[in-house]
Amino acid sequence: MIGLFDTGHGGLTIYQALAKHLPQRNFIYFGDHANAPYGTKPASEILELTKSAIEMLFNRGCPLVVLACNTATAVALRQLQQNWLPNSVHKNKRVLGIIVPTVEVATSTHDDASETLVVFGTQRTIESGVYEVEIHKRNPQAKVIPQTCAQLAGAIENGASEGELEQLVSEAVRECLQKTDGKAPQRALLGCTHFPIVEHLFKKHLPTSTQILSQGAAVADRLIDYLKRHPEFAQNENKQTDLFLTSGDALRVKADAKRFLGVFLPFEKCP
């Protein structure tokens, strides 16, 4: 069983990709809607919330948990992997993030080593600099444009109107293009799992030549490879109904998932 954690329903974009590419695996998804968004919270609070969510998923039978959240990955993953997990009762379990898989796919398919990539993310993700570090590890010549979208994830979670969401996206794109002197970046990474929900708005405002990279597909591709290399987490399972948990209002979360993703998901309130 694989656990997935996000601050809200943005991580469902990752779940959809994983469920499509790993149809025989069982998933438990937990959205911490009661505390969303994480993007403007202090790093110490993000760390504690993320650790609590992971422990809950471990205790529900998930030996492997994927942080389907860029902010939690950027701020908390390294500390959890290096300092907490090896010294805990869960030391034989694993926590994976989604930033490195995204960057691996983005940098393995580039045609121009000196290409420009823009990364749209939350305040904490951009401040961490993790995308720039990981991209330059694999392609030192790439020009990385970090672009904060401080309010966008929260607006999506709070059910903002299409017009309000479009205004936030257009402002972020405008600021990004000011940094490039109006030149179109070759690629755009949506560095928040909420942002694919409004990918159509990014497409509308970014130059037509800019390629938007799909984080869900990248994470699925790399997770399949990880499971091949770590058969202890690739055990055969009897496929059951996936479980969806929330710390928030289950009725509202169901409605939001239906509105944004077009599917009904039976969210339950997590005790």
* Catalytic choice (62, 149, 176, 192): 192
Residue 69 known to be catalytic: yes
What gap in Å lies between CA 210 and CA 213, rounded to an integer? 10
Residue 62 known to be catalytic: no
DSSP the chain: -EEEEESSSTTHHHHHHHHHH-TTS-EEEEE-GGG---TTS-HHHHHHHHHHHHHHHHHTT-SEEEE--HHHHHHHHHHIIIIIGGGSTTTTSEEE-SHHHHHHHHHHS-S-TT-EEEEEE-HHHHHHTHHHHHHHHH-TT-EEEEEE-TTHHHHHHTT--HHHHHHHHHHHHHHHHHHTTTPPPSEEEEESTTGGGGHHHHHHHS-TTPEEE-HHHHHHHHHHHHHHH-GGG---------EEEESS-HHHHHHHHHHHHSS---EEE--
* Catalytic choice (62, 69, 149, 176): 69
Residues recognised as catalytic: 69, 192
